Amino acid sequence: MTAFDADVVIVGGGPVGLVTAIEARLAGLDALVLERHPGVVDKACGEGLMPGALPLLARLGVDPEGMPLRGVSYRSASGAADHRFAGPAGRGVRRTVLHAALRARALAAGARVERMRVTELATDADGVTVGGIRSRWLVGADGLHSTVRRLAGLAGRAGGVHRFGYVRHYALAPWTDLVEVHWSPRVEIYVTPVAPGLVGFAMLGPRRIAFDEALAELPELCARVTGAEHASSLAGAGPLRQRAVAPSRGRVLLVGDASGYVDAITGEGLRLGFAQARAAIASLTGGPAYAPEWRRITRGFRVTASVLVGAAGTPLRRAIVPAARRLPRLYGAIVEQLAR
Ligand SMILES: Cc1cc2nc3c(=O)[nH]c(=O)nc-3n(C[C@H](O)[C@H](O)[C@H](O)COP(=O)(O)OP(=O)(O)OC[C@H]3O[C@@H](n4cnc5c(N)ncnc54)[C@H](O)[C@@H]3O)c2cc1C
């Protein structure tokens, strides 16, 4: 008989890996998280939890502090298009606050978190072994550049444009309860209030665009930050588009960014990752098969994000905010889709 060190090993203790560990514990599985960094982990993120993410967290007993987000405002030199969510608000939550809350809940639920950078993986008929640790199943939650995806033979070729994200925080009193998306000719800057004196600026665009230069092309935002202190150093991530040929193979499942990602343009990564974590663990305990559930969860995101990123890279880019203003019902329907 094979001895297992855990029912499920989760590689990557970011938000989606920790949610997977909590889901596993609630399903009665013994869960071990292997994370390469110690303690609370920060990462470049727009930090907007869409409304649909909050019930997924509340079900797990996680309710992190932050600022209410009541809708989305697309803005450019031509004007602004605002849409307020029809239902409950989302929340801007500093990444470190979210991570600390999830980590504490995972540990309280009985999950183990150990420091390890996973570099190799072996699978056989009844289990998976990483770093000498043996489990029945392995979940790769190790982010955009997933090692598990590669080692499990699940890495695909991501076509299309390569976009990157950069984040900096300013010590500023929030001036809005909307996520503002400022469109310049080259980049989008997402402004998210995350605490009473703290606002995050997340820039999305091509590689090697200097954050301050791009910001200087947006006079409304420049005026806001004049004289404000930087509350974090610049952090980056990318390329954002990543592809897995399938979200699972045998005893290995992928969740979160590791399972494939299009772009942060719709601000949905966390909500999708939490829903994937739930579906992945359910599939191990008698629930529906994971791959069709993964496709169902991500379908709207894959379509909307691909269309928006496609348009953002063409001359149509300049027409996006004016179109959102001229077609408020369509714009509202798209924002409501993100709010689910
Ligand atoms: C600029 C930007 C803005 C964004 N804005 C938003 C937003 O407003 N709202 C939203 O919902 N989403 C947003 N996203 C997306 C969101 O950040 C991601 O979808 C989310 O972080 C995915 O979480 P994850 O746990 O899958 O991956 P990650 O957060 O990347 O966590 C992966 C973890 O795995 C660990 N790891 C990696 N390799 C190994 C290894 N070999 N061994 C052990 N550990 C390993 C890492 O250290 C890390 O802790 C944004 C992304 C970017 C880049």
What is the 186 CA–ligand 1 centroid distance (Å)?
24
Q: Are strands 31-35 and 112-115 parallel, antiparallel or unpaired?
A: parallel
Q: Is any atom of ligand 1 closer than 6 Å to the C-beta of 230? A: no
Q: Round to whole Å and give the CA distance between 34 and 111.
A: 11
Residue 18 CA, closest ligand 1 atom number = 25
155-185 pLDDT tens trace:
999 887 889 999 999 999 999 999 999 999 9
Q: Round to whole Å and give the CA distance between 83 and 76.
A: 15
Residue of minimum CA distance from atom 35 in ligand 1: 12
Q: Is any atom of ligand 1 closer than 6 Å to the C-beta of 45? A: yes
Residue 258 CA, closest ligand 1 atom number = 26
Q: Of 45, 204, 309, which is best to mutate to test ligand 1, by the most ligand atoms within 8 angstroms of its C-beta?
A: 45
Q: How many residues does the chain have?
A: 340
The dihedral sign for the CA sequence 69, 74, 80, 83? negative
Q: Is any atom of ligand 1 closer than 6 Å to the C-beta of 262? A: no
Q: What is the pLDDT of residue 161?
A: 81
CB 101 within 8 A of CB 116: no
Neighbour-count burial of 126, counting CB atoms closer than 10 A to its CB (0-12 exposed, 13-18 middle, 19+ buried): exposed
Alpha carbon separation from 52 to 49, 187, 321, 340 (Å, rounded) = 8, 27, 25, 5
7-31 pLDDT tens trace:
999 999 999 999 999 999 999 999 9
228 DSSP assignment: P
Q: Is any atom of ligand 1 closer than 6 Å to the C-beta of 127? A: no
Q: Round to whole Å and give the CA distance between 257 and 110.
A: 25
Residue 146 CA, closest ligand 1 atom number = 38
Q: What is the pLDDT of residue 1?
A: 44
Q: Is any atom of ligand 1 closer than 6 Å to the C-beta of 264? A: yes
Residue 147 CA, closest ligand 1 atom number = 41
Q: What is the pLDDT of residue 54?
A: 97
Residue 148 tokens read as 């598990």
Beta partners for residue 178, in sequence order: 71
Model pTM score: 0.97
CB 238 within 8 A of CB 277: no
pLDDT along the chain (340 residues), means of 10: 88 98 98 97 96 96 98 94 97 98 98 98 95 97 98 92 94 97 95 97 92 93 94 94 97 98 94 98 97 97 93 92 96 92
Q: Would you list the DSSP string of 73-119? A: EEEETTEEEEEE-SSS-EEE--HHHHHHHHHHHHHHTT-EEEE----
Q: Is any atom of ligand 1 closer than 6 Å to the C-beta of 115? A: no
Residue 12 tokens read as 């990557």
